[in-house]
Amino acid sequence: DVQLVESGGGLIQPGGSLRLSCAASGFNVSDNYMSWVRQAPGKGLEWVSVIYSGGSTYYGDSVKGRFSISRDHSKNMVFLQMNSLRVEDTAVYYCAREFFYESGSRKIPQNWFDPWGQGTLVTVSS
Amino acid sequence: QSVLTQPPSASGTPGQRVTISCSGGSSHVGITHVYWYQQLPGAAPKLLIYANNQRPSGVPDRFSGSKSGTSASLAISGLRSEDEADYYCAAWDDTLSRRVFGGGTKLTVL
């Protein structure tokens, strides 16, 4: 059964650091694109970061330079290192497997997230 | 401000058919597939529709998706109380080179 389980969330002061973990079962994270998506309280979904199967990493503008995504093949886990945390980073963070391909002559990316983990809450507050 | 525009709310009575729209532009909805996610209260999002109109295994055929030009729609027929949830559309934004979501639509079953 394909499953993702996040951990590592909690209460942290502004300026602090936190490392989120995502444990996968039923598939290999190294063979897939893996993304983090967050949801601020009462708000919508915001894509945060992705690590490609080849190892390339990308970030949303709001976290670029502060967050870092990585993976551990032996543990079949994905991580999100969050530094210089801000109050506006408060959210539930979801880990998700991302399906990605490029279509047509223009190679337009097509991507979707399935499955999602249950999420882990990060609260940044003094 | 979300890149993809959805109505903040929608409602219907049991058995009714409701539609939720997702409008965008030529750099995303107009050139890519649209995906839909269902988020039940207190739960994680779940893939509902992929590639505009395809249903993953296990999703009832009461749910259907469509796309025309720069707009997409999610239709739910035979509305049931358990369909009460938040629904999000998503796509790739080719100008921003990133994944984008709509602001979400809260569906209430009256």
For A60, the closest chain B residue by CA position comes to B98
Tokens linked to B62:
């009461």
| Of A7, A14, A30, the residue nearest A84 (C-alpha) | A14
In the prediction, which pLDDT does A28 show?
A: 97
- B28 pLDDT above the threshold of 90: no
Residue B49 binned pLDDT confidence (cut-offs 50, 70, 90):
very high
What's chain B's average pLDDT?
94
In the prediction, which pLDDT does A82 show?
A: 98
In the prediction, which pLDDT does B54 show?
A: 97
Average of per-residue pLDDT across B10-39: 93
**Which one of A47, A60, A118 has the shortest CB-CB distance to B44?**
A118
| Of A46, A61, A53, A60, the residue nearest A93 (C-alpha) | A46
Q: How far is B13 from chain A (nearest CA, A)?
A: 24
In the prediction, which pLDDT does A106 show?
A: 84
Residue-wise DSSP of A12-70: E-TT--EEEEEEEESS-GGGSEEEEEEE-TT--EEEEEEE-TTS-EEE-TTTTTTEEEE
Gap between the terminal Cα atoms of chain A: 40
Q: How many angstroms separate the CA atoms of A60 and A46, rounded?
A: 9
Tens digits of residue pLDDT in A75-124: 999 999 999 999 999 999 999 999 998 888 888 889 999 999 999 999 99
Look at strands A120-124 and A10-12 and give their pairing. Answer: parallel
Average of per-residue pLDDT across B38-56: 97
**Which one of B31, B43, B101 has the shortest CB-CB distance to A44?**
B101
